[in-house]
Amino acid sequence: MPPLAGWRPRLPGGGQLIYLGVYGETGMNGVPFPEEAGLPAQDAPGLDAADLTSRDPRDAMSLQTAWLRSFLAVADKSGFGAATLVLHLSQSRVSAHIAALEHALGVSLFDRKARPVCMTEAGELFRGHALTALLELQSGIDAARSTLDNFVARVTIGSYPSVSSAYLPSVLRELKTKYPGVTVDLLEGAAASLEEMVVNGTVDLAFRPLLPKMRESTLCHRTIWREDIVAVMRDHDPLAKQASVSIGDMLSRPLIGNPAGSEEEGGGFDLRNTLGEAACRADIAYLTDQPATLVALVRSAFGVGVINRLALRTTSTEGLTIRTIDSPTAHREVALHWTRRRAGSAVVKAFLDAQQQVPLPPGVQSIPD
């Protein structure tokens, strides 16, 4: 039977495990149940043959783990639309999963007329059992993955554009060289979304700046490097004649920062953090997630860009000048984050090992252990 892969525990801010992810729509990760694979039921450890023999069309063995995953996500988020964001599935797919599960159980799990959507009595009763079943499966998978013998696994990494372009490929090359059986998925996002991805288990590990501070204090991290936050302007801008720019210089110009989003979501955090108390007086013209977009806006005279130096290595800066900023907070530290629960996972250990073997990208300063 092929090895299981792709399971991810999902943890909300409060620390309670809410749901698990699985790739595939049938059985466990597309792997058939013992009787479907041509194996006698008694070959499944810890279960009697009678337990695995389907006695009813609505027997537990007919349920798909993807249905349970969607059910728990909708229950946690109190809505189908919100669940799609953490599941990375379309709303029609999530709705189909719930409908199939309700048909298999023969009961309604959600009151769809309520706003927000809430569980029925049957849904409340089933939720705990579904969670327990998936957690038991996850415990078995984690135990199987605790050894690197015949290591085959899938790991999902969270990142952001500059790391994805300038550093992550080298880490993945090292990982695949040492552990060729590992399959890697990549998800990108801003700092706030990367934290959520780690906490809820969408990713196994994520590269993310240490600031803004993580709301979840139980995460593990390894600080990797420190990088400067710099100002970017056109070559013929008067500021380009200076060796560095001051906070006062920046307050006199429209500014372009990253990432996109509201201040509460961390939008423009590096810009605001660099300006400190003066940030409330800044003219922030644009915020964007993409370094290439920021550079294009600067080149088109929409303002002065404020961005980490590494990001500028991922795009052409022809016709532009880069200057340091006279601010004690014009820098940030970047770390690799993962949950304590995943700390013992073989695939997490493998990725951490690969990352440690790879030289840091140019222009950043290493952080002593």
Confidence category of residue 151, pLDDT binned at 50, 70, 90: low
Q: Are residues 300 and 356 in the same domain?
A: no
Q: What is the CATH number of the domain that holds 90?
A: 1.10.10.10
Quote the pLDDT of residue 139.
78
Q: Are residues 44 and 114 in the same domain?
A: yes
Assess if residue 125 is contained within a domain. Answer: yes
Q: Are residues 67 and 107 in the same domain?
A: yes
| pLDDT tens by residue, 353-367 | 999 999 999 999 998
Q: Is the peptide bond before 116 cis (omega within 30 degrees of 0)?
A: yes
Which of 112, 144, 176 corresponds to the end of one domain?
Answer: 144
Least confident segment among 108-112, 262-266, 275-279, 307-311? 262-266
Contact criterion met (CB below 8 Å) for 58 and 106: yes
Quote the pLDDT of residue 154.
86
Write down the mean pLDDT value for the chain. 83
Averaged over 261-280, what is the pLDDT?
A: 93
Quote the pLDDT of residue 46.
47
Which of 144, 167, 183 corresponds to the end of one domain?
Answer: 144
Q: Are residues 160 and 247 in the same domain?
A: no
Q: Are residues 362 and 347 in the same domain?
A: yes
Which of 99, 124, 144 corresponds to the end of one domain?
Answer: 144
Of residues 117, 77, 68, the one with CA closest to residue 200: 77
- For tokens 């500028």, what's the residue? 312
Residues, the chain, total?
A: 369
Contact criterion met (CB below 8 Å) for 104 and 58: yes
Residue 304 reports pLDDT greater than 60: yes
Confidence category of residue 68, pLDDT binned at 50, 70, 90: very high
Confidence category of residue 88, pLDDT binned at 50, 70, 90: confident
What contacts 102, CB < 8 A, 6 or more positions away? Answer: 108, 109
Q: Are residues 70 and 113 in the same domain?
A: yes
Least confident segment among 73-82, 139-148, 160-169? 139-148
Q: Are residues 272 and 311 in the same domain?
A: yes
Assess if residue 236 is contained within a domain. Answer: yes
DSSP 17-45: --EEE-SSSSTBTTBPPTTTTT--GGGST
Range of the domain at 159: 153-222+334-366
Number of domains present in the structure of the chain: 3
Q: Are residues 77 and 181 in the same domain?
A: no
- Beta bridge partners, 245, equal 325
Q: Are residues 338 and 328 in the same domain?
A: no
Quote the pLDDT of residue 145.
63
Assess if residue 26 is contained within a domain. Answer: yes
Q: Are residues 24 and 133 in the same domain?
A: yes
User: Strand pairing of 205-209 and 153-159?
Assistant: parallel
DSSP 252-301: TSEEEESS-S-TTTTTTHHHHHHHGGGGGG-EEEEE-S-HHHHHHHHHTT
Q: What is the CATH number of the domain that holds 239?
A: 3.40.190.10
Averaged over 27-48, what is the pLDDT?
A: 38
Q: Are residues 132 and 233 in the same domain?
A: no
Quote the pLDDT of residue 314.
92
Assess if residue 3 is contained within a domain. Answer: no
